[in-house]
Structure 1
Amino acid sequence: MLDVFNQDAFSVRSLTDAINKIKFVPGRIGQLGIFAESSVPTTMIMVEEKNGVLSLVKPSPRGAAGQTIDKGKRVARPFVVPHFEINDAVMAEEVQNVRAWGTESQLETVQGKVAERMAIHSQSMAATEEYARIGAIKGIVTYADGSTLNLFAAFEVGQEAVVDFDLDNANPASGVLRKKCAAVARTIAKNLDGVPYTGIHSFCGDAFFDDLLAHPEVVESYKGTPMAQVLREGYVLPNGDKIYGAFEFGGIVWENYRGAVGETPFIGADDCHIFPQGAPGLFRTVYAPADYEETVNTMGQRLYAKQFPMPNGKGRNIDVQMNALQYCTRPKSLIKGKRT
């Protein structure tokens, strides 16, 4: 009965194509589209950093020598692409009552069982990817096994001091919140070293977001305007789109991020993480090939799947894997804030 697995429909290529065609619902970061995705044929990449120097060019007489610009130093930093794998199986008894081989229904039924498993594992990989991307936005990527990728250490830069927004102050000084937002924006611009960007976004924990929305400066900014519904609903973006908990203040879009694993939120309740949007190449995702004979030295894909027989002949093992690295190329532009 399990000869069906020897058909082309269950080859590495076919299963990999199938799992990558499963309707993918990206996490919030995926929806923002801030991570540039690329593929490599290796399991390690070298990130080249060039500390270019921006300077004003002095006018010079026509025909005379021009100004010499420092080309900056190039530093290549190695990064290993993490490997994520889920092992599953389709047991012989699960397809025992499928109609005899040679009918279309048997192939479709077994394919359906495999597709059902792959769909579940695809969502697990999506959550894993979102969690790693949140880490890249924080500057420290934490994986499920507790290991970390500290981007500040990797790029040899210091993390900016945590900004205390003092949101529990019952009588804040007038204009102090807007000044802190302006200071954050200036720090981000400075640390981008002249790289253009289109805006600033912040993912906020629940308590931070609630207190920020209730802050007197925010209330006064929106009161009596067409955007006053933000005070009631708190989910209107500058372009009019509506999502869960977001509003603009002080040149920053503040969003109440919802991602969590069990009872542990991706963003601490009293924290926020502020980052620039639209900066070319700031956030990157790199996909490497799977560790299968069929995929060695090929360009990486987002997901891979493979099936192979169990040694005891009782079913088929199914592997689903992702080999993906999420990182920020300028981690010093990432700012953490706290409620108090």
Structure 2
Amino acid sequence: MPTILDIFNQDAFSAASLTGNIAMVPNSYGRINELGLFTAEPVATTSVIVMIENGVLNLLPTRPRGGPASLGTRGKQKPASFVVPHIPHEDSVLATDVQNMLALTSNGDAGLETVLGFLNRKLITMRRKHAITLENLRMGAVKGIIRDSDGSVLLNLFTSFGVTEQVVDFLLGTPATDVVGKCQDVTGYMEDNLLGETMTGVHALCSPEWFRKFITHASVKTAYTYYASAPNPMRQDVRKGFEFGGITFEEYRGSASFMQEDGTTSVAQRFIPAGDVRFIPLGTTDTFTNYWAPPDFWGSVNQAPNGADSEVFV
């Protein structure tokens, strides 16, 4: 009787091994991820409650010795509940995907495709899809409005937290604009509204159009005319980042296609629209948090994830 080899029951195809394979693929897409803004917090539930606490900070009056002390005032707390988005993605490997297909071997020669080799490449593609999806969600959090893959609004953080978006017009089309003063307006506003937080600096992610107008503005060019140290926008490509007015400015080209109702994808849309720039406080502790909820499988019910941002289930 012939023996049928069931390769999918081998250890290499177990959920743990596949998760290990996918974890070896670096999250190569995502400047927000590289900046390390978000603190990962695994939770055992599919929703979280964030306590919005307005602390009270006031001057303390002097009192005569032996007299009563001033009393502390408790801050007001307001809970806000958020549902953690669930983003499953499925794919399959069929016999026809592997049969008669060629692939490069470890020594660089062409050979027949293997199931494991094809599966790993499939996992790499799935991993990259999750990476760009996570970048979209995180950029949405930075901008204040988180959008789904079809462009619809998942969460408006301005209304959820009761804050108003602050807009600063740099007036880069006006040669006489004091750009350093505009930078100080941005950092000053952030410092005044940290509400108990601290920051170590400010990072600006700029659309290519805004960045080009910024580095060619008269006041920026004048400031760097006699500046010999690198990086210098007068003589070098500084799109990866340079400091001006206490802010690190960087050109950001992140974009993705959104799924449309008919199943087709849209033209790639930038995460930061043309002519726009977003300023981000650096070094804060609680400003940005990434909550990881349990996947929709029996073995993970009411259990906080192990910290990996992607897991494979078969």
What TM bracket, shorter-length normalisation?
0.7 to 0.9
- Mark the CA change 1:181 to 1:91 in structure 2 (over 3 Å): closer, same or farther: same
Structure 1 position 141, deviation (Å): 1.2
Label 1:207 to 1:221 Cα distance change in 2 as closer, same or farther (>3 A).
same
Match of 1:302 among 303, 306, 309: 309
Which letter does structure 1 place at the counterpart of 2:42?
S
Aligned with 1:154 (options 160, 171, 175): 160
Query: 1 CA distance for matches of 2:165 and 2:90?
Result: 38
8 A Cα contact 2:53 2:76, kept in partner = yes
Contact residue 201 and residue 252 of structure 1 kept, 8 A: yes
Q: Which residue of 1 is the match for residue 278 of structure 2? A: 273
What amino acid maps onto 2:269 in structure 1? T
Q: 2:173 — aligned with what? A: 168
Q: How does 1:125-164 map to 2 (within 5 A)?
A: 125-148=130-153, 149-160=155-166, 162-164=167-169
Q: Distance in 2 between matches of 1:63 and 1:234?
A: 67
Residue 246 of structure 1 corresponds to which residue in structure 2? 241
Match of 1:217 among 203, 216, 219: 219
How far apart in 2 are the matches of 1:93 and 1:267? Answer: 41
User: Is 1:293 paired with 2:293?
Assistant: no
Offset at residue 20 of structure 1 (A) = 2.4
Counterpart for residue 37 of structure 1: 40
Aligned twin of 2:122:
117
The structure with the largest strand share of the pair is: 1
RMSD of aligned C-alpha atoms? Answer: 2.2
For residues 237-296 of structure 1, give each alpha carbon's deviation from its aligned partner in whole angstroms, at most 9, with x where no partner exists.
xxxxxxx44222221111111211254221112001112111111111111111012221
2:191 counterpart SS class: helix
1:320-335 alignment, distance < 5 Å: none
Deviation, 1:33, is 0.9
**Larger relative contact order (CA 8 Å, sep ≥ 6):** 1
Unpaired stretches in structure 1, ≥5 consecutive residues = 99-107, 236-243, 308-340
**SS of corresponding position for 2:151:** coil
State the alpha-carbon separation in 1 of the partners of residues 5 and 157 from structure 2: 47
Superposition deviation, residue 112 in structure 1? 2.3
* Contact 1:289 1:296 (8 Å CA) reproduced: yes
**Contact 1:200–1:252, Cα closer than 8 Å, also in 2:** yes
Post-superposition offset of 1:158: 1.8
Relative to structure 1, the CA distance from residue 90 to residue 111 in structure 2 (aligned partners, 3 Å threshold; closer, same or farther) is: same
Distance 1:2 1:81 in 2: 41
> Percent of aligned pairs with the same residue?
38
Q: What is the correspondence of 1:62-77 to structure 2 with a 5 Å cutoff?
A: 64-77=67-80
SS at structure 1 position matched to 2:87: strand
In 1: Cα distance, 2:151 partner to 2:271 partner: 14
One-letter code of the match for 2:302? N
Cα deviations by residue, 1:219-238 (Å, 9 ceiling, x for unpaired): 11111112373222242xxx
Normalising by structure 2, report the TM-score: 0.84
Q: Confirm whether residue 257 of structure 1 aligns to residue 239 of structure 2.
A: no
Question: In the aligned structure 2, how far is the partner of 1:304 from the partner of 1:167?
Answer: 46
**TM-score under structure 1 length normalisation:** 0.78
CA distance, structure 2, for counterparts of residue 179 and residue 80 of structure 1 = 40
CA contact (8 A) 2:136 2:271 kept: yes
Any stretches of 5+ residues in structure 2 without a counterpart? 102-112, 257-266
Q: Is the 8 A contact 1:234 1:247 kept in 2?
A: no
Q: CA deviation at 1:118?
A: 0.6
